[in-house]
């Protein structure tokens, strides 16, 4: 089974703890959660914003 980075981050943003996410999705590991954070941080860093 697969879960998207968006789904992981959305559940955390909604107030779930990492422990709750890991409990709800037992196939995820703490390293998977960290990888989601790293992915989001890198994506944010690489985004360009055009100012008009």
Distance CA 16, CA 3 (A): 16
51 pLDDT higher than 80? no
CA distances from 41 to 4, 5, 18, 46 (A): 15, 12, 17, 9
| Per-residue pLDDT, 45 | 80
- Whether residue 51 lies inside any domain: the answer is no
The boundaries of the domain holding residue 35 are: 5-46
Which comes out higher in pLDDT, residue 43 or 20? 20
- Whether residue 19 lies inside any domain: the answer is yes
- Whether residue 21 lies inside any domain: the answer is yes
Query: And the tokens for 48?
Result: 């360009």
| Per-residue pLDDT, 46 | 79
Neighbouring residues of 23: CB distance < 8 A, sequence distance ≥ 6: none
49 pLDDT higher than 80? no
- Whether residue 24 lies inside any domain: the answer is yes
Number of domains present in the structure of the chain:
1
- Whether residue 27 lies inside any domain: the answer is yes
pTM given for the model:
0.79
- Whether residue 11 lies inside any domain: the answer is yes
pLDDT in tens, 2-19: 899 999 999 999 999 999
- Whether residue 52 lies inside any domain: the answer is no
- Whether residue 37 lies inside any domain: the answer is yes
């Amino acid at each position: 089974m697969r879960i998207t980075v968006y789904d992981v981050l959305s559940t955390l943003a909604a107030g779930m703890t990492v422990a709750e996410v890991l409990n709800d999705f037992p196939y995820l590991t703490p390293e998977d959660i960290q990888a989601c954070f790293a992915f989001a941080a890198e994506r944010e860093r690489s985004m360009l914003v055009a100012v008009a």
